[in-house]
Structure 1
Amino acid sequence: MPGKDAHNDTPRRVLDANFPDLALPAAVAARLPALVHCRRLASGRSLFVPGHRPTAFYAVAAGEIEARFTGLDGTVSVIEHVGAPRLFGLAAFAAGQPTEYEAVARGASEVLVIGREAYVLLMDEMPGFARALLAEFARRHDGTLRLLQAARHQSAAERFVLALAQLARERGRAAGDGWLEVTATQAELARLAHLSRQTANELLASAEAAGRVRRGRGHWLWRGDRE
């Protein structure tokens, strides 16, 4: 179980990771831990479901959260996989509107719950936070729209490349020479791209033959700018 000092430092680490160009004022850093709490989720447990009106937004402290739609026929459409230390759930919270998707833990996970008091403190007393948060929200909104458009109008190959790019943004770690190491399963890639696992495997093989992907067990190396 993390100690008090570890919890007190977690909000700062999350903010530093998401907004490296901003400085957290000492007075804000001192007050913030008391306004943010940690919630633990077992694998498969929902943090919130469609129709829920949130009183907070969140950051992944450990594990991973899957944001997804579930159709009336039970078909699941994945929006994104959110890993530590990324923020999520901001749109519905800021707008005061019910959520339109479900957030589910993929494996045992921990999230920071950032409620109204913490939000007001950061917005009012952390210089540049509001602008940085708006820019981050705009980037994510654009990425989500691209994936939704791809699901409706683009080919399997185009959806595949967009899903690869999203996973690289969310999980990619520099591996040298412009390559990113991405830890994800073929099933995750297929679900995110709205493809069958067979089609995803065929597209991965083609990308590997073209020199854009190097596959490993449970991960791959990807270089999006390589033609």
Structure 2
Amino acid sequence: MLETPALQRVLDAHFPNVAMPADIAATIARRRLHDGRSLFVQGQRTQAFYAVVAGEIETRFTGADGTVSVIENVGPPRLFGLAAFAAGQPAEYEAVARGACEVLVFGREAYMRLMDEVPGFARALLAEFARRYDGTLRLLQAARHQGAAERFALALAQLVRERGRRDDAGWIEVTATQAELARLAHLSRQTVNELLQAARAEGRLRLGRGRLWIRC
């Protein structure tokens, strides 16, 4: 049976003010994955979109030359697989468990009922897509026209929008690795590390394993 608090955390993060009827919540499954297990593979037509509620999912794609590139390390309560599922297109990447993890599975029935029966869900979903699209455009613009510090700031801002959780002390916790931040900012890991250390020295940022805290 689905744990309601886990679902509520996902709704609060992505679809605030949207009430989830109990009968629709009952159609959303919770799936556990072992380390290294693929949730779906590149080129597969997915039957659901997902939200991480525990652990971490690595999204990655394999190029024509066999090179594997990590796109993102997805932690709670982040959604993923939305675009391919909503468009009915094959997935552009593979989703693999990094360590033991759990995801919520929003299948076709849940999606259709949420869209058709829950006031505000469709608008909230459109806003979620718009935020992601805007963040991607900003990073592409930064990669072409802006310096390292500006790219770094934009990448941090995108992560805060997508995953940030504010605590009582005024810090915003973000789950992200340096490699992921470097990819988002189109910078080397060495440059990102130097910028992170500078921000920490200034008291604007704290670092942890696979996560960071930003004072905004």
TM-score of the pair, normalised by structure 1: 0.77
Deviations 1:179-220 (A, max 9, x none): 4233444344334434333222222233345x3633344344
Alignment of 1:142 onto 2:142: no
Q: Hey, what's the Cα distance between the residues in 2 that align with 1:56 and 1:131?
A: 19
**What stretches of structure 2 of length at least 5 have no aligned partner?**
none
Deviation at 1:138, TM superposition (A): 1.4
Partner Cα separation in structure 1 for residue 176 and residue 24 of structure 2: 37
Cα distance in 1 for partners of 2:76, 2:14 equals 10
How do residues 102-181 of structure 1 correspond to structure 2 at under 5 angstroms? 102-151=94-143, 154-175=146-167, 178-181=170-173
Aligned length: 213
Give how far 1:12 is off.
Answer: 4.9
Is the 1:65–1:105 Cα contact (8 Å) retained in structure 2?
Answer: yes
CA distance in 2, matches of 1:167, 1:206: 19
Aligned to 1:214: 205
CA contact (8 A) 1:178 1:223 kept: yes
Tell me: CA distance 1:189–1:98, structure 2 relative to 1, closer, same or farther (3 Å). Answer: same
Identical positions, percent:
69
User: Structure 1 residues 176-185 or 157-166, which shifts more?
Assistant: 176-185
Find 1:15's aligned residue among 11, 14, 17: 11
1:150–1:81 CA distance, 2 compared to 1 (3 A): farther
Match of 1:30 among 20, 23, 31: 23
SS in 2 for 1:44: coil
Aligned residue type for 1:36: I
**How far apart are 1:92 and its partner, in Å?**
1.3
Shift of the 198–81 alpha-carbon distance from structure 1 to 2, 3 Å rule, reads same
**Contact 2:114-2:121 within 8 A present in 1 as well:** yes
- Which residue in the other structure is 1:98 paired with? 90
Cα RMSD after superposing both structures? 2.8
Unaligned runs of 5+ in 1: none
- Contact kept? 1:213, 1:220, Cα under 8 Å: no
Contact 2:166 2:172 in 1 (8 A): yes
Helix, strand or coil for the counterpart of 2:213? Answer: strand
More moved, 147-156 vs 159-168: 147-156
Q: 1: distance between equivalents of 2:32 and 2:175?
A: 23
Do the aligned residues in 2 keep the contact of 1:57 with 1:90 (CA within 8 Å)? Answer: yes
Greater mean deviation of Cα atoms: 182-191 or 122-131? 182-191
Alignment-mate amino acid for residue 213 of structure 1: R
Quick check: 1:63–1:108 contact (8 Å CA) kept in 2? yes
The secondary structure found in structure 2 opposite 1:159 is helix
Contact 1:77–1:192, Cα closer than 8 Å, also in 2: no
Distance 1:49 1:154, change over 3 A: farther
CA contact (8 A) 1:65 1:82 kept: yes
Distance in 1 between the 2:14 and 2:97 partners? 20
Query: In 2 relative to 1, CA 174–113 (structure 1 residues): closer, same or farther, beyond 3 Å?
Result: closer
Per-residue deviation, 1:53:
1.0
TM-score normalised to the size of structure 2? Answer: 0.80
1:65 has 2:57 as partner:
yes
Amino acid of the structure 1 residue aligned with 2:86: A
SS at match of 2:42: coil
Candidates 78, 82, 88, aligned match of 2:80? 88
The superposition leaves residues 135-176 of structure 1 with CA deviations (integer Å, 9 ceiling, x where unpaired) of: 111111222333344445544333322222233334433256
